[in-house]
Structure 1
Amino acid sequence: MSGKEDRRGLRARIGQVSRWARGRLPPGVRSLVGILFLLGGLVGFLPVVGFWMIPLGLALIWFDIAALMRRLRHRRGDDR
C-alpha cells in the first residue's frame, strides 16, 4: 500500500471517530478525551498508541473551542 493510500485511510478513520465523538460525547468529556489522545500521541513510539492520536486529539479539542467561541460571540453581540 502506498503512502497516499495510507493517508486517505487515516483521514477516513479520524473522520469516523471525530463524528462519533461529536455526536455521543458531552463537551467536557470530549476535551478530556482529546487531551488524553494528545498525551498518548506524544508516546507514539510505543506499540499500542501512535502518532495518529495527535491530530485526533486536536480535532476533539477543537470541537469544544469552536462551540465556546460561537457562544462568546453570540453573548457579546458580534454577528461575524
Structure 2
Amino acid sequence: MDGKPQHKERHRQAHRTISVFGRELRMPKSRPLRIAIGVLLIVGGVLGFLPILGFWMVPLGLLVLSYEFASVRRVRRRGAVWWGRRRRP
C-alpha cells in the first residue's frame, strides 16, 4: 500500500466512470475537463436542431455534471425516482 486509505482510492476510481444504459464510460481524471465536457454537451444539445448535434446531448451533459455538482445530482435523482414511479405497473 502507498499509505492512502482504500475507501478514498475506490471513490476516486468510481468517480471516473459513468454508467449509461448498463455501459461503463471512462471519464477524464481532470475535474475541470469533466465540467467542460458536461457544459459542452448541454450547449450542443440546445443546438440540437443543427446537423450532427442532437437533443440527446442535454441529458448526457447533465449526467456528467451530476457527478461534480450536488444540485445537479439531486435533480438527476428526482428524475430517476419520477421515471421509476411512472414506469411501475
TM-score class, shorter-chain normalisation, is: 0.5 to 0.7
Decide which of 24, 39, 50 is 1:35's aligned counterpart: 39
- Letter of the 2:65 counterpart: I
Aligned length: 51
1:16 to partner: Cα distance: 4.0
1:41-62 Cα deviation digits (max 9, x unpaired): 0010111000010011001111
Asked if 1:20 is matched to 2:23, the reply is no
Instruction: Pick the structure with more helix per residue.
Output: 1
Decide which of 47, 50, 64 is 1:46's aligned counterpart: 50
Structure with bigger RCO (C-alpha 8 Å, 6+ apart): 1
The aligned counterpart of 2:6 is: none
Q: Distance in 2 between matches of 1:52 and 1:25?
A: 24
Question: What is the aligned-residue RMSD (CA, Å)?
Answer: 2.0
TM-score (norm 2): 0.49
TM-score (norm 1): 0.54
Q: Distance in 1 between matches of 2:40 and 2:23?
A: 18
**Structure 2, unaligned runs of 5 or more:** 1-19, 71-89
**Structure 1, unaligned runs of 5 or more:** 1-10, 67-80
